[in-house]
Amino acid sequence: MDAAARRVTVIGTGYLGATHAACMAELGYEVLGMDVDAEKVAALSAGRIPFYEPGLPELLAKQVAAGRLRFTTSYAEVAAFGAAGPGPAMHFLCVNTPQKKGEYAADLSYLEAVAEGLAPHLAEPALVVGKSTVPAGTAVRLGERFAALAPAGHDIEVAWNPEFLREGFAVEDTLRPDRLVIGVGSATAEAELRSLYAPLLGAGVPLVVTDLATAELVKAAANAFLSTKISFINAMAEVCEAAGGDVMALSEALSHDTRIGGRFLTPGLGFGGGCLPKDIRAFMARAGELGVDQALAFLREVDAINMRRRIRTVDLAREQCAGSFLGKRVAVWGAAFKPNTDDVRDSPALNVAAQIQLQGAQVTVYDPQANATATRIEPTLVFADSALEAADGAHVLLHLTEWTEFREIDPAVVGARVAAKHVVDGRNALDPDAWHRAGWTYRALGRQVR
C-alpha cells in the first residue's frame, strides 16, 4: 500500500457507495468503505458485489486485491483510518435517503444515524462530503449536528457533492462524469475536493462550484427535469392513442430538433427505481416547506402521468385477454426498473406484473439479472429461467424492461411457445413489423393496434 496516498472513507456501500469506493481506489487513494449491513461488508471484503452492476465486480476485486480498498462495519475504524492519513480526513456519505412512509418527504434518519455514529469518534479536523440525494438545507443541518457531537467541533466541515451516476453505467459515470458539482462553505473545502478530483478535472471534466443549498438543488432539479421529459412524451402517447397518431414517429420528429433532443424521449411504461420517483416527491415536499409549492406543482402531474402508464399497460394486456385475466397465463419479460441492473426498487415492470397477478392471472416473469431481487419483493409471482420458458402457454406477453436480449429474440420462435400471439410492448423497443409478420397482435403505448 502506498503510505503517502490520500485516505478516503465511504459510508454506506450500496449501489452508489460501493461504486464510489472502488472508483476512488482506482484513482489511487486508500479507501475504507463502511456499512451497517454486515453481510454486505463481508461480500465486498471478499471482492464480491452483492448486486449486478456491469464492470464493478472486476474493479472491486482488483482494488481489494491491490490492498487499496477495505471494508468495515465500525465507525471507530472509519475515524481512525481517516485521521491516520496525510491531510485532513475525507468521509463520503452515501447512505440511502428513501421516501418517508406515508409522506412525500425524504427520510433523512440514515444520515442522522451516521452523524450520531461517526461524529463522537472525530477528534481531528475532517471534511464530511455528502453524496446522497437530499433536500436543500440538509448539509447545513448535518454540519451543525457534526459540530455538536464531534470532539473536533467546528473543525468538522460538511460539503455536498451530489451524484449523477446511472445504474448500469455506474463505473463509467463515476470515472468519466459529464460534470462534477461541489457545494462548499469554505475555500479550504473547495481546495480539498479539487485536489481529490484532480485526475478527473485534468481529463477535462467540468466542475461547478456552488454553495451548499445549490449543490443539493442541482440534483433535485436534474431529476425533476428528466422525469418531466419522460412524462411529457408519455402524455403525448396518451394523446396519440386518442387522436389516432403514432407517438414513436412523433418522438422521432421531435428528437431532430436540437433544442429538444432525443434522450429520455422514448415513450413507454415510464420511470421507476430508487431515485426519480422518490426524488421528485421529496423535492415537492421541500418546496412546500419553503413556501414555494406552486413552483413545483407541475411535478405532481409528472408523477400522475407516470403512474397512469402502469395502469394503461395493465389495461392493454387485459384487452388482449378479451377483457379478463381470470384463468389466463401472462408472460412478463423484465423485472428490473431498467435494463443493465438488478435493481427492482419501485420497478414499473414488477408493479405491472403484480397488478395483473392480483387481477387473477397466473404471471410468469423472466429478467436476465433481477429474478432474485424481484422474488424477494414479489414472492407469489412465478419466475422462469429464460424468456422462452416464461412465454410457455401465455395468452399475452408483456415486454416491460428493455434488455437487449428481448429485442434479439425471433418472434416466430416465441410464437411457437405461447397459447395466443398477443404482445404488449411496454417500452416501444420491439420491432412491430417483425412481430406482426410472425402473426402477433402488437400493442404499445401511444400507438395504434397492429
Ligand X SMILES: NC(=O)c1ccc[n+]([C@@H]2O[C@H](COP(=O)([O-])OP(=O)(O)OC[C@H]3O[C@@H](n4cnc5c(N)ncnc54)[C@H](O)[C@@H]3O)[C@@H](O)[C@H]2O)c1
Name the residues that contact ligand X, by CB under 6 A: 11-17, 34-37, 40, 94-97, 110, 113-114, 117, 132-133, 163, 165, 167, 274-275
Q: What is the DSSP letter of 105?
A: S
- Choice between 227 and 313, CB closer to ligand X: 227
- Smallest gap, in angstroms, from Cβ of residue 168 to ligand X? 9
- Smallest gap, in angstroms, from Cβ of residue 366 to ligand X? 24
- Choice between 78 and 349, CB closer to ligand X: 78
List C-alpha distances in Å: 162 to 139, 171, 209, 223: 11, 16, 12, 12
SS3 249: helix
Q: How far apart are CA 182 and CA 196, in angstroms?
A: 12
Q: How far apart are CA 370 and CA 405, in angstroms?
A: 14
Residues 135 and 179 sit within 8 Å (Cβ to Cβ)? no
- Choice between 212 and 356, CB closer to ligand X: 212
Question: 211, 209, 205: which is closest to 175 by C-alpha?
Answer: 205
- Smallest gap, in angstroms, from Cβ of residue 36 to ligand X? 4
- Choice between 133 and 347, CB closer to ligand X: 133
- Choice between 273 and 411, CB closer to ligand X: 273
The CB-nearest residue to ligand X is 14
Question: 320, 305, 306: which is closest to 424 by C-alpha?
Answer: 320
Q: Which residue has the cell 496525510?
A: 86
321 is catalytic: no
- Smallest gap, in angstroms, from Cβ of residue 405 to ligand X? 22
Grid cell listed for 30? 486508500
Q: How far apart are CA 172 and CA 180, in angstroms?
A: 14
Q: Which of 23, 94, 240, 275 is catalytic?
A: 275
Q: How far apart are CA 134 and CA 267, in angstroms?
A: 29
For the beta carbon of residue 191, count every other beta carbon within 10 angstroms: 11
> Active-site positions?
275
